C-alpha cells in the first residue's frame, strides 16, 4: 500500500521534473581533475568540501580500517535496507551497518538504524565474535582520527574566511563594528566547531558493482552509474560535518591511466559527485576516490549542496562519520529490520524489551482514558476537550500502524531471507486477552468521532 506523498514531497518532485524537462536531452557540464577549471571551481564554489588523499593518513590506520571492513563483511554484518521513498518500498543497492555510541540511532529514508556499539569508555557491550568487537574498536579509532582532522579543517576554513573578509575593503566607520560579517564562524566558535565534529555514529556502506547490474544512470550530468543517488544527508545536527573514509578494493596494478581523449569521469574509478542544489549554472564536480582517500563536508555544505556516489569497477566500502540527532520512533523500526542486530551484538535486547514494557503500559493508559471519555456524567465541555486531544493522537497511531503493517507485508519484504524478514511488532490478534485494546483502531476512531459530534457546543 502506498502512502500519499506530503505536499512538500510533491512540490519537490514537481520542481525536480521541471528541472529535468528544462534540460531536455542536454547534459549539464561537470568537471573532473582532467579539466583546467577543476581546482579553481572547487575553491570558488565548493570551498567547504575537503579531500585528504590516502598518503596523508597513517599507514597503520589504513591497514586496520581496511581489515575491519573485510571482517564485518565476512561475518555478514552489512545489510541492504528496505527503505521507503515517496511511498515506495525499495531495497538499497548498497549494504550498510551503523556503528557508534551505545544507544544511538540514525534515521535515513524513513528507516532507523540502530548502532552496533563501539567500545567508548564505560561501555559494557558484548559481541558475538571477538573479530566483530575488534572491528568496532577500529572504527572508533578512525572516528577519533577523523574528528581531529575535521576540527583542523574547520579551523583552516575559518582562517581562510577571515582572510577573505579582511581582504575586502570595508567602508564603514568605527560606529559599525564588523561583527558577524555573514561568516558562520563568529564569536564562540571553538565550542561550535567541536560539537559539529563530535561524530557519534558511522554508517558503513558496501557495494560490489559486479553483483549489482541494475544501477541507475546519473540523470543531470551524465556522470554514469550511481551507487547512491543525489541526496543531502538527513537528520544531522545543524551545520555538523560529515567525514568519509573510502576504501575501493582496487589492486594497485589495475589503476587505469587517465586517457585525456576520453570525456568525463573514468567509469572504472569510484567518484563522489557534488552539485549545488537547484543550480544549473555552476558545473558539478566528480572527484575520484582512490583506496584510502578521505573527504569531508564541512559546515553547511551538506545543506546547500547535494552529493552522490558514482560506481567504479571494484567492490568498495566507505565509513561515513556523522553527528546524528536524537529522535524517537524506535520499536517498529527495530523489529522491521528482522533479527539482523543479533548477528553482531545483544546490546539492543534489553532496551527494546524495556521500551516494549513501557509501550504496553501506554496501551493500558490509553484504554483508561477511553473509559473516561465514554463515562456518563462528565461535563460536556470537559468531554469535548478530552475527545479532541485523544482523537488526534489515536488517529495518528492508527495511521502509523497501518503504514508499518503495509511496509512489513510489501512484496519486496517477502523476498528477504528469513533473518532479515520484517517483523510487525508490536502486533496482536483481535480478542487477545492480554491486550486492553485492539491493534486495529479503526472502530475506536469512528466511535470517538461520533462522540465528539455529540459534544459539539
What residues line the site for Fe ion (CB under 5 A)?
233
Q: In angstroms, what is the minimal distance from the CB of 404 to Fe ion? A: 25
Q: In angstroms, what is the minimal distance from the CB of 45 to ligand AKG? A: 19
Could you tell me the three cell numbers for 328?
524517537
Q: What SS3 class is residue 196? A: coil
Nearest residue to Fe ion, by Cβ distance, number only: 233
Q: Identify the DSSP state of 100.
A: E
CA-closest candidate to residue 136, choices 99, 98, 106, 95: 99
Residue 390 binding: pick among Fe ion, ligand AKG, none (C-beta 5-8 Å cut-off by kind) = none
- Spatial distance between the Cα atoms of 408 and 402, rounded to a whole number of angstroms: 10
The torsion defined by the Cα of 219, 223, 227 and 229, in degrees rounded to 10, comes to: -40
Closest CB to Fe ion among residues 233, 250: 233
Q: In angstroms, what is the minimal distance from the CB of 199 to Fe ion? A: 14
Q: In angstroms, what is the minimal distance from the CB of 361 to Fe ion? A: 38
- Spatial distance between the Cα atoms of 40 and 42, rounded to a whole number of angstroms: 5
Phi, psi of 105 (to 5 degrees): -135, 165
**Residues 330, 359: contact at Cβ < 8 Å?**
no
Q: Is 338 left (phi over 0), alpha (psi -120 to 50) or beta?
A: left
Q: In angstroms, what is the minimal distance from the CB of 233 to Fe ion? A: 4
Closest CB to Fe ion among residues 233, 293: 233
Q: In angstroms, what is the minimal distance from the CB of 317 to ligand AKG? A: 8
Q: Packing angle between helix 59-74 and helix 130-167, nearest 10 degrees?
A: 130
Closest CB to ligand AKG among residues 32, 320: 320
- Spatial distance between the Cα atoms of 15 and 281, rounded to a whole number of angstroms: 16
Residue 244 binding: pick among ligand AKG, Fe ion, none (C-beta 5-8 Å cut-off by kind) = ligand AKG
- Spatial distance between the Cα atoms of 388 and 141, rounded to a whole number of angstroms: 52
Buried-exposed string 66-83: b where 16+ CB fall within 10 A, e elsewhere: bebbebbbebebbbbbbe
**Residues 204, 317: contact at Cβ < 8 Å?**
yes
Residue 297 binding: pick among ligand AKG, Fe ion, none (C-beta 5-8 Å cut-off by kind) = none
Closest CB to Fe ion among residues 81, 233: 233
Closest CB to ligand AKG among residues 203, 386: 203
Residue 316 to residues 231, 292, 384, 404, Cα–Cα distance (Å) = 19, 11, 59, 32
Closest CB to ligand AKG among residues 49, 228: 228
Q: In angstroms, what is the minimal distance from the CB of 397 to ligand AKG? A: 31
Residue 138 binding: pick among ligand AKG, Fe ion, none (C-beta 5-8 Å cut-off by kind) = none
Closest CB to ligand AKG among residues 310, 441: 310
Closest CB to ligand AKG among residues 89, 293: 293
Residues that bind ligand AKG (CB under 6 A): 203, 205, 228, 233, 244, 246, 272, 307, 309, 318, 320
Nearest residue to ligand AKG, by Cβ distance, number only: 318
Q: In angstroms, what is the minimal distance from the CB of 96 to ligand AKG? A: 8
- Spatial distance between the Cα atoms of 297 and 286, rounded to a whole number of angstroms: 15
Q: What SS3 class is residue 435? A: coil
The torsion defined by the Cα of 110, 246, 248 and 28, in degrees rounded to 10, comes to: 70
Residue 246 binding: pick among ligand AKG, Fe ion, none (C-beta 5-8 Å cut-off by kind) = ligand AKG
Q: In angstroms, what is the minimal distance from the CB of 143 to ligand AKG? A: 15
Residue 110 binding: pick among Fe ion, ligand AKG, none (C-beta 5-8 Å cut-off by kind) = none
- Spatial distance between the Cα atoms of 270 and 224, rounded to a whole number of angstroms: 11
Residue 272 binding: pick among Fe ion, ligand AKG, none (C-beta 5-8 Å cut-off by kind) = ligand AKG
Residue 201 binding: pick among ligand AKG, Fe ion, none (C-beta 5-8 Å cut-off by kind) = none
Closest CB to Fe ion among residues 89, 233: 233
Amino acid at each position: 500500500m502506498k502512502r500519499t506523498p506530503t505536499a512538500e514531497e510533491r512540490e519537490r518532485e514537481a520542481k525536480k521534473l521541471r528541472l529535468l524537462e528544462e534540460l531536455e536531452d542536454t547534459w549539464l557540464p561537470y568537471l573532473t581533475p582532467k579539466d583546467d577549471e577543476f581546482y579553481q571551481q572547487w575553491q570558488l564554489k565548493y570551498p567547504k568540501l575537503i579531500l585528504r588523499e590516502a598518503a596523508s593518513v597513517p599507514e597503520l590506520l589504513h591497514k586496520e580500517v581496511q581489515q575491519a571492513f573485510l571482517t564485518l563483511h565476512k561475518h555478514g554484518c552489512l545489510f541492504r535496507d528496505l527503505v521507503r521513498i515517496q511511498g515506495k518500498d525499495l531495497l538499497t543497492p548498497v549494504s550498510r551497518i551503523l556503528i557508534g555510541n551505545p544507544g544511538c540511532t540514525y534515521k535515513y529514508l524513513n528507516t532507523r538504524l540502530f548502532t552496533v556499539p563501539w567500545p567508548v569508555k564505560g561501555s559494557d557491550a558484548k559481541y558475538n565474535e571477538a573479530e566483530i568487537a575488534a572491528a568496532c574498536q577500529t572504527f572508533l579509532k578512525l572516528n577519533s582520527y577523523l574528528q581531529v582532522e575535521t576540527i583542523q579543517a574547520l579551523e583552516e576554513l575559518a582562517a581562510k574566511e577571515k582572510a577573505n573578509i579582511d581582504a575586502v575593503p570595508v567602508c564603514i566607520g568605527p560606529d559599525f563594528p564588523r561583527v558577524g560579517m555573514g561568516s558562520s564562524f563568529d564569536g564562540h566558535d571553538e565550542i561550535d566547531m567541536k560539537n559539529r565534529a563530535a561524530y557519534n555514529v558511522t554508517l558503513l556502506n558496501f557495494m560490489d558493482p559486479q553483483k549489482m547490474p541494475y544501477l541507475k544512470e546519473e540523470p543531470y550530468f551524465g556522470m554514469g552509474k550511481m551507487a547512491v543517488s543525489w541526496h543531502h544527508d538527513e537528520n544531522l545536527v545543524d551545520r555538523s560535518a560529515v567525514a568519509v573514509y573510502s576504501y575501493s578494493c582496487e589492486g594497485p596494478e589495475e589503476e587505469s591511466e587517465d586517457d585525456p581523449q576520453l570525456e568525463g569521469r573514468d567509469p572504472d574509478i569510484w567518484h563522489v559527485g557534488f552539485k549545488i542544489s537547484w543550480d544549473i549554472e555552476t558545473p558539478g564536480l566528480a572527484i575520484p576516490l582512490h583506496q584510502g582517500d578521505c573527504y569531508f563536508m564541512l559546515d553547511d555544505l551538506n545543506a546547500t549542496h547535494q552529493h552522490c556516489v558514482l560506481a567504479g569497477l571494484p567492490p568498495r566500502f566507505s565509513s561515513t562519520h556523522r553527528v546524528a540527532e536524537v529522535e524517537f520512533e524506535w520499536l517498529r523500526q527495530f523489529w522491521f529490520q528482522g533479527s539482523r542486530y543479533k548477528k553482531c551484538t545483544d546490546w539492543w535486547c534489553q532496551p527494546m524489551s524495556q521500551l516494549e514494557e513501557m509501550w504496553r503500559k501506554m496501551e493500558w493508559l490509553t484504554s483508561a482514558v477511553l473509559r473516561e471519555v465514554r463515562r456518563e456524567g462528565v461535563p460536556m465541555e470537559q468531554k469535548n476537550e478530552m475527545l479532541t486531544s485523544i482523537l488526534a493522537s489515536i488517529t495518528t497511531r492508527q495511521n502509523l500502524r497501518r503504514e508499518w503493517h503495509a511496509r512489513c507485508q510489501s512484496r519486496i519484504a517477502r523476498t528477504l531471507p528469513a533473518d532479515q524478514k520484517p517483523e510487525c511488532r508490536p502486533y496482536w490478534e483481535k480478542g487477545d486477552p492480554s491486550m486492553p485494546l485492539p491493534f486495529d483502531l479503526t472502530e475506536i476512531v469512528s466511535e470517538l468521532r461520533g462522540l465528539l459530534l455529540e459534544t459539539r457546543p
